[in-house]
């Protein structure tokens, strides 16, 4: 019974009606946007790492030769040389039917015409993806077949990797801005509460209450509102992120599958509301103590 009586002044110190409800919904919206932005950034980071792993050491040897007999002969020689090379872990020729299917959207049915000269392609995996190793392999390839050339997968996928890096930076910037906006909202709410209850606080000071004790009342109330709002916004954002993740997995794309979040990422997202509650509590404490030191 005594605890409830002691808690009443704390509940009355900040408005418990419309203002509190507004604060909770503002925090819910901020946490919802923050968790979604963080999920976007973590997904972009996972996709970038997955892309780097898939493309590391991957290249294609392309042999362009108008004479089909000479092309097939050089392709067999190249394939034998690549499979015997110590720097190569795997070398597989690309099926001509698959190549014709790939160019069908641009050339139509003519892509499967046997009279149409098609390049011979060999997919290669290397143990060392450095520029020096690729240059050395390229020299050995051109020695066997002067018409052959090497295309590195990482080179033509570089724009995708750069875009993922941009998404990561954008998501990190949004999270930081939302954190600053949340801290600003808490500071304004704390200052508004101080102004509204200035007379009560002066009486508390005359009765012996210190600035730290008054600040504790504010930070407890704001921490409670932030916890309720953070739980609502965080759970909603996690549900949306899980839904988007399931849709990405259904696409069957290697890049989209690489953006799937693992359990460490989900744990980090789940901890974001707790971090925002701590941020709101600290911001309220600092704002109240500073305001009390300046005006009261």
pLDDT in the model for residue 34 = 92
Residue 26, beta-bridge partner list: none
Among residues 146, 180, 195, which one ends one of the domains? 146
HSE value, Cβ hemisphere, 13 Å, CA-based, for 249: 9
Enclosing domain of residue 242:
2-52+159-295
Ramachandran angles phi, psi of 125, nearest 5°? -115, 130
Residue 59 resides in a domain: no
170: its two tokens: 């954008």
Percentage of residues in the chain with pLDDT exceeding 70?
Answer: 75
The reply to whether 169 and 139 lie within a common domain is no
The reply to whether 205 and 291 lie within a common domain is yes
* Distance (Å) of CA 232 to CA 16, 239, 279: 18, 11, 17
Count CB-CB contacts under 10 A for residue 158.
12
Residues 248 and 102: their CA atoms lie apart, in Å, by: 23
Phi-psi region of 108 (alpha: psi -120 to 50; beta: other; left: phi over 0): left
CB burial of 14-23 (b: ≥16 within 10 Å; e: otherwise) equals: bbeeeebeeb
Phi-psi region of 245 (alpha: psi -120 to 50; beta: other; left: phi over 0): alpha
| Nearest CA-CA partner of 31 in 241, 232, 279 | 232
Residue 58 resides in a domain: no
pLDDT digits (tens, 9 = 90+) for 148-190: 888 877 676 777 778 888 888 999 999 999 989 988 888 887 7
- The answer to whether residue 91 scores a pLDDT higher than 50 is yes
Percentage of residues in the chain with pLDDT exceeding 90?
Answer: 9
Chain CA centroid to CA 172, Å: 8
Residue 57 resides in a domain: no
The reply to whether 206 and 274 lie within a common domain is yes
The reply to whether 197 and 258 lie within a common domain is yes
The reply to whether 172 and 284 lie within a common domain is yes
Residues 10 and 221: their CA atoms lie apart, in Å, by: 8
* 69-83, 210-224, 228-242: least confident range: 210-224
Residue 220 resides in a domain: yes
pLDDT in the model for residue 176 = 92
pLDDT band at 10 (very low <50, low <70, confident <90, very high): very low
* Distance (Å) of CA 2 to CA 7, 8, 218: 9, 10, 21
- The answer to whether residue 81 scores a pLDDT higher than 70 is yes
Region 106-115: what's the mean pLDDT? 58
More confidently predicted of 2 and 182: 182
Among residues 100, 120, 146, which one ends one of the domains? 146
The reply to whether 224 and 91 lie within a common domain is no
Among residues 93, 115, 146, which one ends one of the domains? 146
HSE value, Cβ hemisphere, 13 Å, CA-based, for 91: 23
Residue 60 resides in a domain: no
Domain count, the chain: 2
DSSP type of residue 94: P
Residue 151, beta-bridge partner list: 60
- The answer to whether residue 131 scores a pLDDT higher than 80 is no
pTM: 0.68
Residue 153 resides in a domain: no
The reply to whether 193 and 234 lie within a common domain is yes
């Amino acid at each position: 019974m005594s605890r409830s009586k002691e808690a009443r002044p704390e509940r009355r110190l900040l408005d418990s009606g419309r203002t509190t409800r507004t604060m909770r919904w503002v925090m819910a919206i901020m946490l919802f946007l923050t968790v979604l932005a963080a999920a976007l950034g973590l997904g972009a980071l996972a996709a970038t790492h997955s892309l780097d792993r898939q493309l590391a050491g991957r290249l294609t040897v392309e042999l362009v030769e108008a004479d089909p007999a000479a092309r097939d002969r050089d392709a067999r020689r190249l394939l034998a040389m690549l499979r015997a090379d110590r720097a190569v872990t795997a070398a597989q020729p690309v099926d001509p039917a698959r190549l014709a299917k790939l160019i069908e959207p641009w050339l139509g049915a003519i892509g499967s015409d046997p009279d149409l000269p098609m390049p011979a392609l060999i997919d290669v995996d290397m143990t060392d993806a450095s520029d020096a190793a690729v240059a050395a392999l390229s020299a050995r390839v051109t020695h066997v077949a002067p018409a052959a050339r090497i295309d590195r997968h990482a080179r033509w996928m570089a724009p995708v990797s750069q875009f993922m890096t941009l998404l990561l930076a954008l998501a990190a910037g949004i999270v930081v801005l939302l954190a600053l906006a949340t801290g600003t909202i808490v500071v304004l709410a704390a200052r508004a509460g101080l102004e509204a209850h200035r007379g009560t606080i002066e009486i508390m000071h005359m009765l012996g209450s210190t600035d730290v004790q008054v600040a504790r009342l504010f930070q407890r109330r704001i921490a409670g509102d932030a916890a309720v709002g953070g739980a609502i916004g965080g759970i909603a954002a996690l549900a949306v992120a899980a839904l988007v993740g399931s849709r990405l997995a259904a696409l069957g794309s290697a890049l989209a599958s690489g953006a799937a979040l693992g359990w460490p990422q989900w744990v980090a997202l789940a901890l974001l509301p707790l971090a925002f509650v701590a941020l709101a509590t600290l911001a309220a404490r600092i704002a109240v103590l500073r305001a009390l030191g300046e005006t009261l």
